Structure 1
Amino acid sequence: MKIAFKMRLKPGSKEEYCKRHDEIWPELKQLLKDNGVSDYTIFLDEETNILFAVQQQAGEQSSQDLGKTQIVQRWWAYMADIMDTNEDRSPVTIPLTKVFHMD
């Protein structure tokens, strides 16, 4: 199943956000893959600082469902200074509804 959601980047954080994702921790990448998350892409609308994420997932679990793991909690803490976050430092995410798909 393919899912999409949006998040908000703090103004002026694009370069740092890109840098951190270019250097994504290997153990985090492996955790995502081990839990069925693949083909994960994030787009930025630079006018609004909205991040649009799309990922393929096997089963019902997305990357956002792995928040109880230590590695994801560390990643959230690492990213909290450049993104809108909840009290537990998880990114504020808003699910997006698919309205069109073309094969």
Structure 2
Amino acid sequence: MIRKAFLMKLFDNCYEEYKKRHDEIWPEMVKMLKEHGACNYSIHFDPNTNSLFAYLEIEDESQWRKSSETLVCQEWWAYMKEVMETHSDNSPVTVNLQEVFFLK
């Protein structure tokens, strides 16, 4: 299992909307994530910085990368672009974090 962690950033005053959208996540989005090997996926919010810390485990890096090519992923990104920092293709701006410790 590959452990991944990254940071993202919400726009000011968008936490409630971001949370609502994830509370109502599309079933087809959940299905796609699982089909591309994601499990134990969680996102945490720091209200002091509007930062999001995401953690997930994947089975295979190349399989995971293909998730961004799916229509549902691209639609989700377009749906989320008004509440968070994104690139021109609507993908979230992310900062990948390097693992420095793991206790099993």
Does the TM-score normalized on the shorter chain lie above 0.5? Answer: yes
Unpaired segments ≥5 residues, structure 1: none
Q: Which residue of 2 aligns with 1:58?
A: 59
Q: Which residue of 2 aligns with 1:70?
A: 71
Q: Which residue of 1 aligns with 2:40?
A: 39
Identity %: 44
Cα distance in structure 1, aligned partners of 2:95 and 2:20: 24
Q: CA deviation at 1:67?
A: 1.7
User: Residues 63, 13 of structure 1: CA spacing in aligned structure 2 closer, same or farther, 3 A cutoff?
Assistant: farther
Structure number with the higher helix fraction is 2
Cα distance in structure 1, aligned partners of 2:15 and 2:9: 11
Cα distance in structure 2, aligned partners of 1:63 and 1:14: 26
Cα distance in structure 2, aligned partners of 1:93 and 1:77: 16
Q: CA deviation at 1:60?
A: 1.1
User: Residue 61 of structure 2: SS of its match in structure 1?
Assistant: coil
Q: Within 5 Å, which residues of 2 pair with 1:1-103?
A: 1-61=2-62, 65-103=66-104
Unpaired segments ≥5 residues, structure 2: none
Query: In the TM superposition, what whole-angstrom CA distance separates every residue of 1:67-87 from its partner, at most 9, and x where no partner exists?
Result: 211101100000000000000
Cα distance in structure 2, aligned partners of 1:51 and 1:76: 15
Give aligned pairs, total: 103
Q: CA deviation at 1:41?
A: 0.3
Cα distance in structure 2, aligned partners of 1:50 and 1:63: 23
